Amino acid sequence: MAARARLELRRLEQLVRGFARVRLLVVGDVMLDEYLWGDVERVSPEAPVPVVHVRRESRALGGAGNVVRNVVAMGARCRFCAVVGDDAAGDRIVDLLKELGVEADGVVRDAARPTTRKTRVEARSQQLLRYDRETDEAIAGAAARRLVAAIEGALDAVDGVVFEDYAKGVLAASVVRQVLRSCRARGLFVAVDPKDALAPYRGASLVKPNLRELEELSGVKVRGPADLARAAAKLQRQLGGADVIVTRGGQGMSIFEQGQPPREVASAPFEVFDVQGAGDTAIAALALAKLAGGSLAEAAVIANAAAGVVVGKVGTATATPEEIQAQLPRALGAALGRPGSDA
C-alpha cells in the first residue's frame, strides 16, 4: 500500500517535463509506413472487393522509426541507428528523419537488401488492406560492422538505449551482443522491445514484451496470474535479471521488478480508433520516464497515459507531453484502483 501512495500526480507531471533533459538512442528495424486514404462507395465489377477512391497519400516512419517519432514528440533528444536499402524508400526515411530534426548519420545503407515498406489502404477509419515489401535476413559483413560502428559512436552522447526489434534482421545477435557489452561498460540503461528472440538481450535493464510475445518467448501459455508470473520469471532468468514489463492492451501493464513482488498497473478505458504503433509509444514513454528518474510503476502509469493518447488517433501516431499530461489524472486513477476518477 505504501508503494501505491507514492504514485502522485504532481510527481508524474514532473517526470514528463523531465523528458526534455533525456538523450536517447534508438536502434532497430525501421520501416516506411505508406498510407492510401480514401472512400468506398461501390464493389468492383471485376471481383467481390471494395473499390477505394484514393483521396490522399501519406508516408511516415514506422517500426523503430515510430519509436523515434514518439521520443521526439515527447520532447526528448533522439539519435537513431538502423539499416535501410539503397533505394527510394531508404531516401524517404532519411528525409523524414531530417524533417524531425534527427541526424541520419547513423542510418546505414545496404544495397543488398530492400528498405522495409508497409503500404496500408484506409477507408472510413478502417484498414482494408496491407501489403509488405521486406526481408527478414539478418544483416552481416560490412553492413553489420558499419551499424556497430555507428551505434558505438553515439553511445557517449546518450543516457540510454532502446532496442526496437521487429525481426527484420537489423538486430542480428552478433550486433546486439557487441553493443550491449559497450552499453554495460558505460553503465547505460538499455530497454528492449523484443519480437521472437531473447538470448542476445541478456544483460539489458528492462524488457517489454506484450502478452503474445511473452508466451512465445517463454513457452508458457498464460491463462491467469500464476502463469503470467511464471512466464515473466522465466524471461528474467534468461535475461540475467532484467526487469520485465508486460503490456496487456486495455488491461494495462504487469511489472516484474527484481527484488519486488509483481505489480499490476491498470489502464483507464480509452476510446480506441487504432492500436497500431501503441507498443512503440509505450517503450518510448517507459524509457524516457525511467531516464527522467521515475520508478517502474511511475513509468508504467505515464506509458499507459501515452498509449491512451495514440490509440485515439488513426494510423501510427505520437503523443506530446501536453497530451500525456492531460491523460495522467485518468491513468493515475486507474492505477490506484479508482477507474473513471481524476486521482
Distance CA 102, CA 137 (A): 27
Mapped onto helix, strand or coil, the DSSP state of residue 100 is helix
Distance CA 77, CA 70 (A): 11
Mapped onto helix, strand or coil, the DSSP state of residue 257 is coil
Q: Which of 26, 149, 152, 155 is nearest to 79 (CA)?
A: 26
CA 163 to chain centre: 9
Q: Which of 142, 134, 144, 119 is nearest to 59 (CA)?
A: 119
Q: Which of 324, 290, 318, 296 is nearest to 71 (CA)?
A: 318
For the CA atoms of 66, 68, 69, 73, the dihedral, rounded to the nearest 10 degrees, stands at 140
- Is residue 328 a contact partner of residue 304, using CB atoms and an 8 Å limit? no
- Is residue 4 a contact partner of residue 336, using CB atoms and an 8 Å limit? yes
CA 289 to chain centre: 14
Can you read off the three cell numbers belonging to residue 239? 535475461
Q: Look up 95 and say whether it is catalytic.
A: no
Mapped onto helix, strand or coil, the DSSP state of residue 283 is helix
| Alpha-carbon distance values, 268 to 275, 303, 327, 342 (Å) | 15, 12, 9, 10
Q: Which of 159, 165, 243, 280 is catalytic?
A: 280
Distance CA 151, CA 177 (A): 12
Distance CA 22, CA 298 (A): 16
Mapped onto helix, strand or coil, the DSSP state of residue 201 is helix
Q: Which of 337, 192, 343, 338 is nearest to 263 (CA)?
A: 337
Give me the active site residues, please: 280
